[in-house]
Amino acid sequence: EQGVDQADLIAFLLELSFHTPGEAYSLDTLTDDQTTMIKDLADLGLVKLQKGRKESWFIPTKLATNLSVSLTDSSSRKQGFVVVETNFRMYAYSSSKLHCEILRLFARVEYQLPNLIVGAITKESLYNAFENGISAEQIVTFLQQNAHPRVAEKIPSVPENVTDQIRLWETDLNRVEMTPAHFYDEFPSRLTPSSIEQDVFEAASDFARMHNGLLWEDAKKMRMVVKAEIHMLMREHLRGQNK
């Protein structure tokens, strides 16, 4: 009734079901449509909203984390439907569009037949899931709990190399740190010979290293990246070199 696309609503509800109950998530990460939805979900008791001085958060309740189960029909809950192979290929024996949308949250769905969804778990699809707040452990648990009867009795029901890689990719993503920085590729000098410019570059590189601010350098092309915190010091240093 509010002009929200039904597919977007279902996708958001399913994404919400993967969130950790009781953990706060910033409202800034939501789209305009999702922000509209979240207010209605708060009225339904699926999330709690909190306001700070500068930021606002939503906190999923236990009811929200059960959405992926409650939205599926009873027959599909009685037995699993997903088979994951050691080559990361995934086969879901289901005709449910909802199942397909759930799998799209963390896998690449390649095509859908009347009773079969075929896809693959890829680094890119998992990174997208991680960025949307879905954890590796939640994905692994979902695959294990919904394993097809043909593989459910196996130990493990999901290949170990697949679950290990899912966790490893999450670790790799979390290992990346964002550091404010400045890029330098032109070094001032009143003299034009390249040897003088090289001297200026090397002195600047040493200066940044001395202040523990050098993040990256390419001596051949005379380029470097330094931490933002030493940017003003670097500017003063370069002005001194140009006198």
pLDDT in tens, 209-236: 999 899 999 888 889 999 999 999 988 8
What mean pLDDT is predicted for residues 110-125?
A: 94
Residues 128 and 166 in one domain: yes
Residue 190 banded pLDDT, cuts 50, 70, 90? very low
Residues 91 and 129 in one domain: yes
Query: For residue 115, is pLDDT > 70?
Result: yes
* Domains contained in the chain, number: 3
Query: For residue 4, is pLDDT > 70?
Result: no
Would you say residue 1 lies in a domain? Answer: no
**Euclidean distance between the first and final Cα of the chain, in Å?**
68
Residues 162 and 89 in one domain: yes
Residue 188 banded pLDDT, cuts 50, 70, 90? low
How far apart, in whole angstroms, are the C-alpha atoms of residue 51 and residue 48?
Answer: 10
- pLDDT over 90, % of the chain: 37
What mean pLDDT is predicted for residues 154-173?
A: 93
Residues 57 and 94 in one domain: no
What mean pLDDT is predicted for residues 148-159?
A: 91
Residue 73 banded pLDDT, cuts 50, 70, 90? very low
The count of residues in the chain is: 243
Q: Which domain holds residue 137?
A: 72-175
pTM over 0.75: no
Domain boundary among 175, 209, 227: 175
Domain boundary among 65, 95, 113: 65
In the chain, at which residue ranges do the beta strands (DSSP E only) sit? 25-26, 47-51, 56-60, 82-84, 89-92, 108-113, 116-120, 181-184, 214-218, 223-227
Identify how many contiguous H helices and E strands the chain contains and give both numbers.
12, 10
Residues 193 and 168 in one domain: no
Would you say residue 191 lies in a domain? Answer: yes
Domain boundary among 175, 192, 211: 175
Residues 142 and 61 in one domain: no
Residues 163 and 189 in one domain: no
Are 56 and 74 within 8 A, CB to CB? no
Residue 97: its pLDDT value, please? Answer: 84
Residue 74: its pLDDT value, please? Answer: 44
Would you say residue 164 lies in a domain? Answer: yes
Query: For residue 81, is pLDDT > 90?
Result: yes
Would you say residue 92 lies in a domain? Answer: yes
Residues 23 and 50 in one domain: yes
